[in-house]
Amino acid sequence: MSEPYYTLKNEVFANFAYYAAISTLKMMAMSLLTSRERFVKNAFANPEDIQLGRDKQAKVTLTDPDVERVRRNHLNDIENIVPFVIIGILYVSINPSSTTALWHFRTFFFSRIFHTIAYQLPLPQPSRAVGFAIGYATTMSMAIQFLRALFK
């Protein structure tokens, strides 16, 4: 009987688990950056939150460009990291080459780091688009490989 796929003894799963975990932590960090930006700019989305800021007379602000930039970046992470984790779990089940799998996981993670840097600085386009496209293509590659194995 072979080893189960979903154990840290399986190199592919162990590598996936590592990159899924750090990608998820990166995504979670974006919510903290959004909160930080709200406090720095005293730009709160809810009236009750204004009392936490410096200016108790501030108004609800949903349009601060700096807060919105971080928030959109966070939403983009959610839209990309969640599918990566779901597809990655399926991808591990086809027992891919450990080298190929590792490159998929690394490429995705570093594309998200680059995307965030390009979004927050901001770097001129198509920088951010390239970061997004590389991560998206990586997740699509894993999904296609899974579907091909499923329908063999």
Q: What is the pLDDT of residues 125-150, one digit of tens each?
A: 999 999 999 999 999 999 999 999 99
The answer to whether the CB of 71 falls within 8 A of the CB of 61 is no
**Amino acid occupying residue 121:** L
Give the architecture (CATH level 2) of 11-27+64-150: Up-down Bundle (1.20)
Q: What is the mean pLDDT of residues 9-34?
A: 97
Q: Tell me the two tokens of residue 87.
A: 């597809």
Confidence of residue 5 (pLDDT cuts 50, 70, 90): confident
Q: Which residue has the tokens 């779990």?
A: 89
Q: What is the pLDDT of residues 103-121, one digit of tens each?
A: 999 999 999 999 999 999 9
Give pLDDT, residue 16: 98
Give pLDDT, residue 4: 80
CA distance 11 to 106: 14
Give pLDDT, residue 2: 65
Cis ω for the linkage preceding 96 (within 30 of 0): no
Give pLDDT, residue 54: 87
Give pLDDT, residue 112: 98
The answer to whether the CB of 83 falls within 8 A of the CB of 140 is no
The answer to whether the CB of 68 falls within 8 A of the CB of 43 is no
**Counting beta carbons within 10 angstroms of the beta carbon of residue 7, is it exposed (0 to 12), middle (13 to 18) or buried (19 or more)?**
exposed
Q: What is the pLDDT of residues 22-59, one digit of tens each?
A: 999 999 999 999 999 999 999 999 999 999 888 888 88
The answer to whether the CB of 146 falls within 8 A of the CB of 91 is yes
pTM of the shown model: 0.93
- Selection from 53, 105, 45 nearest residue 81 by Cα: 105
Confidence of residue 1 (pLDDT cuts 50, 70, 90): very low
Phi-psi region of 85 (alpha: psi -120 to 50; beta: other; left: phi over 0): alpha
